[in-house]
């Protein structure tokens, strides 16, 4: 159930945002937001690489509170807003995962 919730948020939250706020170019916005998965590259720095009971938030560098602050600031310029929404949707999914641990 935890995995379903986690990946459901990863997939459907960006889709909902794209359909609600980027109706004319929803698919492009959706794909850009899905690229928020790329911040999981920082998991490669962890040992072990995957640990089911580890919370990503503030453990991995791109999931740190500092990084999240930068993602929030990226909401301000219109040019980076879709990217920021994707990154923050990723953080929401990982936060939900942390709450379910």
pLDDT at 78 over 90: yes
Summarised one tens digit per residue, pLDDT across range 12-52 is 999 999 999 999 999 999 999 999 999 999 999 999 988 88
pLDDT at 3 over 90: no
Domain interval for residue 83: 2-99
Mean predicted confidence (pLDDT) in 71-75? 98
pLDDT at 2 over 90: no
Task: Report d(CA 87, CA 10) in Å as an integer.
Answer: 10
pTM here is: 0.94
Domain count, the chain: 1
């Amino acid at each position: 159930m935890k995995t379903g919730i986690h990946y459901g948020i990863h997939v459907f939250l960006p889709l909902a945002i794209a359909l609600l706020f980027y109706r004319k170019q929803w698919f492009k916005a959706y794909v850009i937001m899905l690229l928020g998965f790329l911040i999981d590259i920082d998991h490669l720095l962890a040992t072990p690489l995957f640990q089911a009971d580890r919370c990503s938030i503030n453990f991995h560098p791109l999931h740190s509170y500092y990084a999240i602050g930068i993602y929030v600031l990226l909401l301000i310029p219109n040019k980076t807003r879709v990217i920021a929404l994707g990154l923050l949707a990723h953080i929401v999914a990982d936060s939900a995962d942390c709450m379910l641990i």
